[in-house]
Structure 1
Amino acid sequence: MPWDLAIVLILLLICIVLFILDWPRMDVVALSAMVILPVLGIVSVNEALAGFSDPNVVLIAALFIIGEGITRTGIALQVGRWLARNAGKSEPRLVVLLMLAVGILGSVMSSTGIVAIFIPVVLSVAGRLQIHPGRLMMPLSVAGLISGMMTLVATPPNMIVDSALESQGIEGFSFFAFTPMGASILVLSVGYMLVARHWLKRPDGETQKRSRRRTLVSFVEEYRLEKRAFRLRVSPESRLVGNMLREVDLRQRNGVNLIGIQRTIRGQKRVLNPVAQTVIQADDILLVDLVNPENDLETFTRDLGLKHLPLKGVYFTQQSQFVGMAEVAVSPESNLVGKTLVDATFRNEHGLSVIGLRRGGEAIEGPVTEEKLRPGDILLVIGPWKQIHLMQTQQLDFIVLSLPVEIEDAAPARSQAIYALISLAVMVGLMVFSVVPNAIAALIGCLLMGLFRCVDVETAYKSIRWQSVFLIVGMMPFAVALEKTKGIELAVDLLMNALGGAGPRVIIAVLFILTTGFSLVISNTATAILMAPIALTIAGQLELSPYPFVMTVAIAASAAFMTPVASPVNTLVMGPGEYRFSDYVKIGTPLTLLVLIVCVILIPWIYG
């Protein structure tokens, strides 16, 4: 074996071991290898840094921003709520709708991102149906992984094998080239999970130790707020119409805490944060907390010309996209110690209302505005999510103790949802019809997202998972190094000799097994970078179309079902689903074998 090939293989082995140990970070390992290879003279500096100019790296970064736009505008959340409504009380229907929704949404945004969005939705539905969340979390992660098989841009391995084709002067895959395989596997997996979810049932006597964050409903129960919330419509004849809130002073005169104002603006319902200068309009819906339950609501509404409307859900949890809650503790160094909330002008200073107070572990009933605050008092605040986030920066006065899971529901750019859909449609259209290169199409989509204020510049940069980007860039020189040192030829020769002239379907099966095996211990992105050149070389030696072989690598790289560390998607659901390592093996191994069979049957037929 040539010494330069030996060095490359040793370095690659070290990287794989460090990937398995997860220390240091994968991107640091990959970038370190990218530096070492040119230092040792294995590749040139230009070859080592070529990944930074690779169009697919730009495409991957741009797609993170597109996904952030979809999240910030609440599109994914609305799909989740549609799912919850239409599932009813049927667990099988829920599994089917959940997997289809995640599979489709994940085809145009990060699978990790879409699974993170759906986790609180699934927890909520599981609680409503009184089933263990473990029966739903595994279908969620499986659908998230399969969503990567749906389109060209659904996951980095797809774009990597596409880039490998183009680097050899071969036409790459079209946008929907992956869809026949992805849709077939998704349908198969839905049927499989309808059966396999029963294998995740916990023994009846097993204690379930859960560390999930609390929900808005749990806050309402702990602070005994159930009977304090009301929705009141302002009639055109009301004497409140045309007045600013500071002029009517509902709190002092009527003992009413105004939480928000629901108003229709340009055809869309929004919840406004009430401030002193807010002018009340006819048909506004006031979301009020009756501070003193003994107050006469009927007299109050009659005198002010308000109509009592039914309240859906518990307290104001139905408005969780706009209105949030949090528990904050009063710091010993806080300027609020010894003051009442009125003295401290808390609402004016922080844009939030205090609706509950716990002292010594017990919730204080009735009005809390006149209570003098003590160090360690825990306040339950309600108001816009943005203001709640700001409180996290005020560590001298407050310590934010707990945020509910519904914080994931907050959609800062919800009113721009239609523009996010337009931006997404433009990007997909440009890709499907090959009007411009895919990377340019994605950048156009990003610019449109910014132009329509679906994302801002700061959010766009933060949304990019730089670890994934640098992992790809850092691993790319390995493919070049293995090709230059004849490592790929050696691997192909060993593989072909071992197979002894087997047919294409056998080779596809072996490629699938090897790719899946590597994906269990290292990133599926890194696996695709290493396996795509091998697949292309095998196709060249057999004088067959390269498409079935590289498609096998892409599909297998996403079939990371068997361990919790094989994909971030699996890791995300492990805690909420209360899974053990063995659960992934039990569910993932049969599913992987089924996907292998589908690939061996369909890939040569569709792509041959």
Structure 2
Amino acid sequence: MPLVTSVNSHSIAVMLLTLLALFLFSREKIPLETSSLFIIVALTVGFTIFPYQYQNTAIHAIDFFSGFGHEALIAVCALMVAGQGLVRTGALEPVGRLLSRLWSVYPKLSLLLTLILGATLSAFVNNVPIVILLLPILTTVSIRTNTSASKVLMPMGFATLIGGMSTTIGTSTNLLVVSVAVDMGLKSFAMFDFFLPVAVAGAFAIAYLWLVVPYFIKERKPPFSDTSPRIFTAKLMIPADSVSENQALEQLVAKTDGMMRVLRIHRNSSDIYLLPNSKTIIKADDMLVVEDTPENLKSFETILGAVLYTSLGAVDEAHPLMEKEQQIAEVIISQGSRLNNTMLSQTRFLERHNLVALALHRPGKKTETLFKGMADIYLKVGDVLLIQGKSEHIVELKKNRELLVLDATSDLTHSKQAPWAFFIMFTIIAISALGILPIAISATLGVFLMFVTSCINWKDASNALNTQVILIVVASLALGQALLKTGAASYLAHLFILATEGSSTTFMLSGLMLLMAIMTNIVSNNAAAVIGTPIAIGIAQQLNLPAEPFVLAVLFGANMSYATPMAYKTNLLVMTAGGYTFNDFLKIGIPLIIIMWVVLSWTLTILYDL
């Protein structure tokens, strides 16, 4: 990268677009996919209208689409699909079952083991399936032991993030940084080239999460610690001479202020069932099949002059509404869930699984309950639905594995394809670690084998692939390419050196890492990493120092997504299940960032003799 101490109009435009991108990526109300697509469009259209020559070679605007075929994106997508194979088959179920048994006997030791295991697994598998495996186990333990899940869920989530930064395939951020560095002429990092500094820093971090955080963090109630109101299916029998006899159904619904929802009409105690029609005339002995809370059902009974029945008979003080087979559970909307960006009123999810949605909770927002408009709210990652249904229907939902279900049982499903999925994932990692095949190729081969062995199908693969991840990766790669080729990255590196002039190399390295850590908690970690990598290489070249420690400073800093719930998708899952607040992440995450930042700065300085 040539030294650039002045800027041109194109580099200024790219730097301004980069600032705009970072702003857009931090806006919760603007979908990340929309912001990413805008950046791609702005770059391609801008460089088409205003051509630019780079070292006597024109930059072709079409080159900014190259991210869609970039090796890093192929690897990220293939690993996401392969990880879905582990989830769908329950390949990690033996690990979860062992942990579940240990927690009931040695809770303190089990927490340490959970943190170490979560970090270790996340070094090789995306941490989302790891968190999805551990969340139900830890939630069940907290319910059975009458303790707060908030003491353990955040430490577990952070441990998986720490483990993810230790290998080249641990996170998509790592893959991007390594690929961009190779594109710029650096030697490719092997899978375990930076495992040692992360292991050293991780030991301090795990000790903090194990010994300090459980005592420091406040107990938090999960969003639905009170599982009322329960919903019951009952029948309202219209007796002879009732005020509701011989009236249209719409008139009866109007009497309840529109609150009553009639599922069907049981005609005159016969075997004939009618679908509800507003013009249907309700006759004596008709039964209206309705679903609602006990309070509302009793209210409807009084208003309509009806008699309330269940399958066990009439409801009265001696025989209240009780359904022993009914079970409460929470469904958390995770990344890749088919409920994400949908409304309950648009999907037949509840009907297909014979469930009732009682309430909807969104972190930081007011909880919506039944009949309060929750059916018309677009669901987002981190939202949690309180559902009710028969025990067997909840079990079937958990077996489906497309949703993260939390309840009071530790049921873990395990299919006959699980050994195949585990073996294939192990093979993907081994082939890449031994240098036999690049990770993009070994992961793609692994996905093919997942299909051949029926570990996944194409629907599973499409659920695993995430538009948000794909577009943010492509947009970030395009921005990084524009920063590099217009000289903007070199200029920003020069400004960084001027700002830290007179400081030691360790201070510069540490400052770059801290800057990335701050950025990653505000904007996308992938964007921070890809934008920071060419700048880091420019800093190293202008200082005549090896580029590797500066690239690792970017990689490590961009992985420190601990201080805000929106910094990483698993933070949102943990926040929802544990009932955490934004301030909880600040109080626990900032000290963790400081620990990792200080120890990693120190180890990089020693390892590279700076």
Matches within 5 A, 1:565-604: 565-604=566-605
Q: Matches of 1:91 and 1:396 in 2, distance apart?
A: 38
Corresponding residue pairs, total: 474
What's 2:46 paired with?
Answer: 40
Q: Matches of 1:176 and 1:58 in 2, distance apart?
A: 21
1:62 aligned onto 2:78: yes
1:211 aligned onto 2:224: yes
Residue number among 205, 212, 219 corresponding to 1:195 in the alignment: 212
**5+ long unaligned stretches in structure 2:** 1-6, 53-58, 234-259, 275-289, 298-309, 316-320, 328-338, 340-346, 358-386, 402-412
Secondary structure at 1:489 match in 2: helix
Partner amino acid for 2:117? A
Is 1:99–1:139's contact at 8 Å kept on the other side of the alignment? yes
Secondary structure at 1:22 match in 2: coil
Secondary structure at 2:476 match in 1: helix
Between stretches 13-22 and 136-145, larger displacement belongs to 13-22
Partner amino acid for 2:509? I
Secondary structure at 1:481 match in 2: helix
Residue number among 136, 150, 164 corresponding to 1:148 in the alignment: 164
What's 2:343 paired with?
Answer: none
State the Cα deviation string for residues 27-75 of structure 1 (Å, max 9, x = none).
2211211111121116523321010110110100011111111111112
What's 2:35 paired with?
Answer: 29
Q: Matches of 1:378 and 1:340 in 2, distance apart?
A: 25
What's 1:2 paired with?
Answer: 8
Q: Matches of 2:568 and 2:270 in 1, distance apart?
A: 50
Change (3 A) 1:335 1:186: farther
Q: Matches of 1:163 and 1:18 in 2, distance apart?
A: 25
Alpha-carbon distance, 1:169 to partner: 2.5
What's 1:173 paired with?
Answer: 189
Matches within 5 A, 1:134-533: 134-193=150-209, 194-202=211-219, 208=221, 210-211=223-224, 332-334=262-264, 361=294, 392=348, 395=351, 400-401=356-357, 402=387, 407-408=397-398, 410=400, 414-533=415-534
Q: Matches of 1:124 and 1:23 in 2, distance apart?
A: 34
Change (3 A) 1:339 1:195: farther
Residue number among 133, 148, 155 corresponding to 1:132 in the alignment: 148
Alpha-carbon distance, 1:211 to partner: 2.1
Change (3 A) 1:453 1:340: farther
Alpha-carbon distance, 1:517 to partner: 1.2
Change (3 A) 1:396 1:84: closer
Alpha-carbon distance, 1:6 to partner: 2.3
What's 2:24 paired with?
Answer: 18
Secondary structure at 2:602 match in 1: helix
State the Cα deviation string for residues 192-247 of structure 1 (Å, max 9, x = none).
01212211134xxxx946326979xx99xx99xxxxxxxxxxxxxxxxxxxxxxxx
Between stretches 63-72 and 73-82, larger displacement belongs to 73-82
What's 2:300 paired with?
Answer: none
Partner amino acid for 2:528? T
State the Cα deviation string for residues 471-513 of structure 1 (Å, max 9, x = none).
1011211111112222111111111112224333222101111
Is 1:339–1:372's contact at 8 Å kept on the other side of the alignment? no
Is 1:519–1:560's contact at 8 Å kept on the other side of the alignment? yes
Change (3 A) 1:371 1:59: farther
Q: Matches of 1:571 and 1:542 in 2, distance apart?
A: 40
Is 2:521–2:560's contact at 8 Å kept on the other side of the alignment? no
Change (3 A) 1:409 1:81: farther
**5+ long unaligned stretches in structure 1:** 224-329, 345-356, 383-388
Secondary structure at 1:565 match in 2: helix
Alpha-carbon distance, 1:569 to partner: 2.0
Q: Matches of 1:337 and 1:62 in 2, distance apart?
A: 56
Partner amino acid for 2:514? I
Alpha-carbon distance, 1:372 to partner: 11
Q: Matches of 1:603 and 1:341 in 2, distance apart?
A: 77
Q: Matches of 1:338 and 1:458 in 2, distance apart?
A: 46
Change (3 A) 1:397 1:512: closer
Partner amino acid for 1:18? L
State the Cα deviation string for residues 337-386 of structure 1 (Å, max 9, x = none).
88999999xxxxxxxxxxxx9986399xxxx878799xx9989589xxxx
Partner amino acid for 2:215? H
State the Cα deviation string for residues 400-451 of structure 1 (Å, max 9, x = none).
4325886446557611111011111211121011112211100111111111
Q: Matches of 1:573 and 1:99 in 2, distance apart?
A: 14
What's 1:51 paired with?
Answer: 67
Change (3 A) 1:524 1:403: farther
State the Cα deviation string for residues 118-168 of structure 1 (Å, max 9, x = none).
222111111223221111111012112112112211111111111122112
Q: Matches of 2:325 and 2:266 in 1, distance apart?
A: 15
State the Cα deviation string for residues 80-104 of structure 1 (Å, max 9, x = none).
2211211334442232122112112
Partner amino acid for 1:592? I
Is 1:89–1:129's contact at 8 Å kept on the other side of the alignment? no
Secondary structure at 1:414 match in 2: coil
Partner amino acid for 1:47? D
Alpha-carbon distance, 1:515 to partner: 0.4
Partner amino acid for 1:15? A
Partner amino acid for 1:505? T
Is 2:122–2:170's contact at 8 Å kept on the other side of the alignment? yes
Q: Matches of 2:293 and 2:17 in 1, distance apart?
A: 58
Q: Matches of 1:409 and 1:139 in 2, distance apart?
A: 27
TM-score by length of 2: 0.70
CA RMSD of aligned residues (A): 3.9
Is 1:34–1:477's contact at 8 Å kept on the other side of the alignment? yes
Is 2:26–2:524's contact at 8 Å kept on the other side of the alignment? no
Change (3 A) 1:473 1:377: farther
What's 1:549 paired with?
Answer: 550
Is 1:149–1:182's contact at 8 Å kept on the other side of the alignment? yes
Q: Matches of 1:74 and 1:125 in 2, distance apart?
A: 20
What's 1:347 paired with?
Answer: none
Q: Matches of 2:100 and 2:128 in 1, distance apart?
A: 20
Change (3 A) 1:339 1:17: farther
Q: Matches of 2:432 and 2:146 in 1, distance apart?
A: 44
Partner amino acid for 1:126? S
Q: Matches of 2:13 and 2:184 in 1, distance apart?
A: 26
Q: Matches of 2:132 and 2:268 in 1, distance apart?
A: 41
Partner amino acid for 2:71? P
Alpha-carbon distance, 1:174 to partner: 1.0
Is 1:358–1:378's contact at 8 Å kept on the other side of the alignment? no
Secondary structure at 2:99 match in 1: helix
Change (3 A) 1:484 1:400: same
